[in-house]
Structure 1
Amino acid sequence: MAARHRAAESLEASIGQLPTAVLRMRADGSTETVSAQRVAPGDVLRVPAGQAFAADGVLTRGSTQADEALLSGESRPVPKQAGDAVVAGSLNLQAPVEMRVERVGADTRHEAIVALMRQALSQRPSLARSADRWAGPFLAVVMLLAAGSALAWWFIDPSRAVWVAVSVLVVTCPCALSLAAPSALLAAAGTLARRGVLLRRLDALETLAQVRHLFLDKTGTLTEGSLRCSEAQPQPGAPAWGSASELRARAASLAGWSSHPLSAALAAEGRGPEAFAWQAVQERPGQGLQAQDDEGREWRLGSAAFVGAADAAPSPDPEVWLGCQGQPLLRLRFAERLRAGVEPALRQLQADGVTLTLLSGDSPERAAAMAARLGLQVAASAAGTQQRGLQPEDKLAALRQAQQQDQRVAMLGDGLNDAPVLAQADVSFAMGEGALVARSHADAVVVSNRLADVADARRLAQHTMRVVRQNMLWAGLYNAACVPLAVVGLMPPWASGLGMALSSLLVIGNSLRLAR
């Protein structure tokens, strides 16, 4: 019970960190904050920039860009205008908008995680069921031994027949056998919950300990989905306008006047829009920003055509240009931002003998660059050619191919396009920020969104199985040693009771080491 309560407390603490409130519009145009569970079809919600859409619906006012990487695996923001459909779980990136709710359901983190907690803590894992199957016949044998011992001692020394039978009944400890697995699994589940990994089924620990091949999604799993400026290329004539760092600072300052995802990423590197004296700032949708400096010169930040570099070679990565008076001065390329701790976690998994393979629905160029950067394999087709930009059926085929080679495989993903592979994998993890359907098909949810916790979970699973084997071994050795002593009359009832209690406590104590 202590292990179970500790696990439940850890899970509840994780649940408490998840936002569940939305802004609902009243008839008079004001807003009220309500629980996401109270949203009904027909409600109009105001969704601030940076917040996820709480339901499926249609934009009624405003325009923005939505991060739908959870749905398609494509990390580029999707433009959204009034009348466009929005999907629950996608992220509003650019500006506050209003939406009319059309479909609601259990697509809230709160309900999903509570369901995971209840399901995991109410389960009898396969290891426990296996121990119970052994405990039943074992108990029947003990009853026969007690009856046989009483009968034998009736002829040897009738005064000892009863207490020998009692000693045999008391000294046996089938409870230690039945507690060996669930006590260890519950203690491990509590430890994982404190680290931000919620198990949907305790059996997953046994399988996770045997995993030798991990498949990983990219966008939203290895990366945060947000972008960062990775390269700044001065153009011919740029030195006359300042150094590369000065031009980059000017671009970051001008970007501060816009809420576009690329502008936000660039502005995060600067000191804010007030760093330069901008005047007559205008933002042209789909093109970029235009402003004048204190000398009246016109600066532009945006697309190549908007700045005056229409003949520039296209880039596979997102980019913006900075120019002045129609002259392109600086080309800024952007790259995805890895989640914190991804590279050490991958190295830890590889050091533990786990093969890592990237399954991405993103563009071939980005998937190849990410795989090369992190030292990952890329799934190959039956013909042996590398496959990237994979569709859900392609990911499923790659995972099944590994399973056909008698490998225990795991999958880590976050989007709707990952749900089939999450369901097919021997053990699967879904990111806590992922879509509900992905979380519902996974064996565990990484609420912390840290890949390091997945690597630690595998090590803890292996430690847990060692503890289970230790418990099983102790329960077997104890009964094998003490039952014969009781049968031959060398263990009185008081010693039998003490031995039985200490055996169970030893099993529980050994399991609770996993909770530290």
Structure 2
Amino acid sequence: MTATVAASHPHALDVLDDPVEQQRFTRWVERADGSRVADSAFALSGMVCAACAGQIEAALHQVDGVLEARVSASAHSAQVRWDPARTAPSALVLAVRGAGYDAVPDTAASARELRRNERRKALWRLFVASFCAMQVMMFATPSYVAEGAELADDMRQLLNWGSWLVSLPVMLFSAGPFLRGAWHSLKNRKIGMDVPVSLGIVVTFVASSGATFSPGGVFGHEVYFDSLTMFVSFLLGGRFVELMARHRAAESLEAALAAMPESACRLLEDGSEEQVSLHRLRPGDRVRVAMGAAFPADGHLEVGATEADESVLTGESRPLPKRVGDDLVGGSVNLASPVIMRVERVGAETRFEAIVAMMRDALTQRPAMARWADAWAGPFLWVVLVLAAGAAAVWSVIDPSRAVWVAVAVLIVTCPCALSLAAPAAIVAAAGHLARRGVMVQRLDALEAMSRLDRLFLDKTGTLTEDKPSRGAVFVAADGSIEHLGPLASALAKWSSHPLSKALAEDSAWSGQAAAVVWRDVAEVAGQGLQASDEHDHAWRLGSFSWVAPGAARPGWAQAHDGLEVWLGRELQGTWQALACITYDEQMRPDAAAAVAALQHAGIALTLLSGDRPERAHRLSQQLGIADVVAAARPEDKVAAVASAQAKGERVGMLGDGVNDAPVLALADVSLAMGQGALVSRVHADAVVVSNRLSDVVWAYRLSHKAVRIVRQNLIWAATYNMVCIPLALMGYLPPWAAGLGMALSSLAVIGNALRLSYTPLSKAA
């Protein structure tokens, strides 16, 4: 049988032999003699049927040094154990390709295998419970439909024995997770949700077994093996749905990780090229990126022009044009032509890895509403146990034959699964939907806080305006030269992430010469600028005029300008003197006006909070219709403004992007940082708008409202279900099997309602 080789990303085989790269897809096993063997995972392509697996295994076994090869036709993966003294991963891939297929390292193999085993066990438990429940129901049906003496006692006894026998696999295998969970809870002196479930299961089985083998004994003659097996089956069904939802979230995370290439083509100083692992890239490296390949790190375009697909990072489906000097984001795809990029950030410092880390952290958090539900679940369970014991005591007087079954029904129907799932299911679904749109939630509690927002403070530069202003006029002192001062300013600006500094650092007129400039003792004062020393120990400053030349009057050579200004100056004989003024014109973001209008329409009061000059801040606020403006604000002024609003009882939000926004972002009740902003601001933010679209801020606010509404719906449903069903169970109108069905359906209803958030269109998020 033949197969075609599936297309894959360019991958240099020698990179696979790099020990650093091997750590991503290989684990090492120590043998008895002290030697080590490698166990590597590969993802396969080109397989069309199960027979292909045999061909690939045969090809791998022909490689000298391969000790074992296992190929899964269903998962399209291979697990190969090999001797590093005799072969290497590149030889394994060549063998697979020689057989007519293709293979690449499978970096997520271990996590995927764990999920596969978990899913397989859960499915088997559900199958065994469901199959046995059907068989037990078949044995129990004659007892339900027979009238009078139609069913002989010996035949009824035989059917009960059959039900007991078929129930054993359910008790010994299917019910295992509940029994183990209850045991661990009791061992830790806590009562979890598994305790009443397990108590109901054990009591039902013990009482039914007693009625089976001693019909005239204390347990009477009624058996409920059908209720037991159906209850376990329903509960496992609900948990299986929850398991699949969690697995889908993990698979989405892995799909994002798969966007990064395995290697990069690094250009050396002598003009030659080498293929290296991503882990060996360093800032400053020049990398050639082929058309159709993903950019391996964050950086800027140095040679060529292209378009980039950044949908995996921002949710923006349209290709974005990239020219020399433009930022490139690792994980985005080069669509138009081969280019050369300069690496600036690698590994965990890239925006891509930061997004993945935010997704991973968010998915492992427990929101406040979920913690509240868990806190109430404990006392609630004690009440349930008291109710069950009380019901058994009362019914032992009314009808002793039903006492046990009423208690079991109470234990089952009151299991607070739906209550504990109500909040996390909805909040995690909303956070996942936001992530796909380009808004990464770092603190799940922020969604609840965002839905109750009273006032939102908005930064101006880089938030309401574009993060890359265009250079305007340049003014230089009479004894200065822009050809000399421009590269100095550009080189110093590289030490800051402020939008103006980034624009200056990436200015093509000076960035080339700036590479030769060396600065020492660089320090940044938030809201003011930078200070550094050159190679002759002369002190320089870059930033606002009041920072560069404190106490001085504006020099006559710098004409008045309506745009933003960046000043460069140095210290001469103890006095700071301004030497150059570079002006920039900023542009409002295209969706700023619509976003401001939508937020105001939603009832949120807006305040423009800017460190810019009052005239510029007020001009922008008038264009957007924002009445409240705080201009010329230093970081401490911004903090004071937010604290003042909070003192009035307002729930305050902050949207910013700069270093000087970090303190106020940390103070606000809910904070959002623009994705292109400074790292320190992103760290302090509750959510990061990676898409850099203000419309997504509006959308996140609307979705947070819907998420909170769905959480309330789930909590009301869970409470209503218990309020209705508990009295029915206490009065004996709810048999154990019906209680199990109701509890399972209640959990499924909560999960299904929450999953609506994963597919909410923007127009319906309000």
TM-score (norm 2): 0.45
Q: Is the 8 A contact 2:263 2:296 kept in 1?
A: no
1:338 aligns with 2:588: yes
2:343 & 2:595 partners in 1: Cα distance?
41
1:410 aligns with 2:648: no
Aligned to 1:218: 460
Task: Summarize deviations over 1:464-515 as a string: whole Å, max 9, x none.
Answer: 1111111111111111111111111111112111111111111111111111
Secondary structure of residue in 1 paired with 2:467: strand
2:612 & 2:740 partners in 1: Cα distance?
64
2:450 & 2:379 partners in 1: Cα distance?
30
| Post-superposition offset of 1:11 | 5.4
Q: Is the 8 A contact 2:347 2:353 kept in 1?
A: no
- Candidates 599, 609, 632, aligned match of 1:359: 609
Q: Is the 8 A contact 1:44 1:99 kept in 2?
A: yes
Q: Is the 8 A contact 1:341 1:450 kept in 2?
A: yes
Q: Is the 8 A contact 2:659 2:678 kept in 1?
A: yes
Aligned to 1:241: none
Quickly say closer, same or farther: Cα 1:228–1:99, change in 2 above 3 A. Answer: closer
Q: Is the 8 A contact 1:10 1:194 kept in 2?
A: no
Quickly say closer, same or farther: Cα 1:343–1:422, change in 2 above 3 A. Answer: same
1:227 & 1:318 partners in 2: Cα distance?
9
Secondary structure of residue in 1 paired with 2:734: coil
Query: When the two structures are aligned, how many residues end up with a matched partner?
Result: 382
1:316 aligns with 2:562: yes
2:676 & 2:369 partners in 1: Cα distance?
31
Task: Give, as a single letter, the amino acid of the residue that structure 1 aligns with 2:561.
Answer: S
Q: Is the 8 A contact 2:297 2:346 kept in 1?
A: no
- Candidates 441, 451, 459, aligned match of 1:199: 441
Aligned to 1:481: 724
Aligned to 2:620: 370
Quickly say closer, same or farther: Cα 1:168–1:44, change in 2 above 3 A. Answer: closer
1:101-250 to 2 correspondences below 5 Å: 106-227=348-469
1:53 & 1:442 partners in 2: Cα distance?
23
Q: Is the 8 A contact 1:24 1:44 kept in 2?
A: no
Secondary structure of residue in 2 paired with 1:490: coil
1:16 & 1:363 partners in 2: Cα distance?
46
1:13 & 1:431 partners in 2: Cα distance?
24
Task: Give, as a single letter, the amino acid of the residue that structure 2 aligns with 1:145.
Answer: L
1:368 & 1:515 partners in 2: Cα distance?
40
1:170 & 1:317 partners in 2: Cα distance?
69
Quickly say closer, same or farther: Cα 1:169–1:99, change in 2 above 3 A. Answer: closer
Structure 2 unaligned spans of 5+: 1-242, 289-294, 300-328, 331-338, 473-502, 508-512, 514-555, 566-582, 760-766
Quickly say closer, same or farther: Cα 1:396–1:377, change in 2 above 3 A. Answer: farther
Secondary structure of residue in 2 paired with 1:224: coil
Aligned to 1:458: 701
2:666 & 2:262 partners in 1: Cα distance?
27
| Post-superposition offset of 1:432 | 1.5
2:699 & 2:449 partners in 1: Cα distance?
15
| Post-superposition offset of 1:391 | 2.4
1:170 & 1:193 partners in 2: Cα distance?
37
Q: Is the 8 A contact 1:109 1:436 kept in 2?
A: no
Larger RCO: 1 or 2 (CA < 8 Å, sep 6+):
1
Q: Is the 8 A contact 2:718 2:746 kept in 1?
A: yes
| Post-superposition offset of 1:438 | 1.4
Task: Summarize deviations over 1:370-402 as a string: whole Å, max 9, x none.
Answer: 22211224544xxxxxx32x3222222221121
Q: Is the 8 A contact 1:8 1:117 kept in 2?
A: no
| Post-superposition offset of 1:18 | 8.5
1:108 & 1:445 partners in 2: Cα distance?
14
Task: Summarize deviations over 1:295-328 as a string: whole Å, max 9, x none.
Answer: xxxxxxxxxxxxxxx9996432379xxxxxxxxx
Aligned to 2:669: 426
Aligned to 1:501: 744
Q: Is the 8 A contact 1:8 1:190 kept in 2?
A: no
Task: Give, as a single letter, the amino acid of the residue that structure 2 aligns with 1:129.
Answer: R
Q: Is the 8 A contact 2:359 2:435 kept in 1?
A: no
Aligned to 1:467: 710
Secondary structure of residue in 1 paired with 2:466: strand
| Post-superposition offset of 1:100 | 11
Q: Is the 8 A contact 2:298 2:343 kept in 1?
A: no
| Post-superposition offset of 1:111 | 2.8
Structure 1 unaligned spans of 5+: 56-87, 90-95, 231-260, 266-284, 286-309, 320-332, 381-386
Q: Is the 8 A contact 1:6 1:190 kept in 2?
A: no
| Post-superposition offset of 1:457 | 0.7
Quickly say closer, same or farther: Cα 1:504–1:53, change in 2 above 3 A. Answer: closer
1:418 & 1:164 partners in 2: Cα distance?
61
Secondary structure of residue in 2 paired with 1:508: helix
Q: Is the 8 A contact 1:7 1:186 kept in 2?
A: no
Quickly say closer, same or farther: Cα 1:402–1:6, change in 2 above 3 A. Answer: farther
- What is the percent sequence identity of the aligned residues? 58
Secondary structure of residue in 2 paired with 1:161: helix
| Post-superposition offset of 1:368 | 2.7
Task: Summarize deviations over 1:180-217 as a string: whole Å, max 9, x none.
Answer: 10011011111111211111111111100111111111
| Post-superposition offset of 1:171 | 1.3
- CA-atom RMSD, angstroms? 4.0
Task: Summarize deviations over 1:124-150 as a string: whole Å, max 9, x none.
Answer: 111111101111111111111111211
Tell which deviates more after alignment, 31-40 or 137-146. Answer: 31-40
Quickly say closer, same or farther: Cα 1:8–1:459, change in 2 above 3 A. Answer: farther
| Post-superposition offset of 1:334 | 7.3
1:37 & 1:378 partners in 2: Cα distance?
48
Quickly say closer, same or farther: Cα 1:52–1:158, change in 2 above 3 A. Answer: closer
Secondary structure of residue in 1 paired with 2:381: helix
1:193 & 1:315 partners in 2: Cα distance?
41
| Post-superposition offset of 1:408 | 0.7
Aligned to 1:350: 600
Secondary structure of residue in 2 paired with 1:198: strand
Q: Is the 8 A contact 2:298 2:351 kept in 1?
A: no
Secondary structure of residue in 2 paired with 1:221: helix
1:52 & 1:438 partners in 2: Cα distance?
24
1:21-36 to 2 correspondences below 5 Å: 26-28=268-270, 30=272
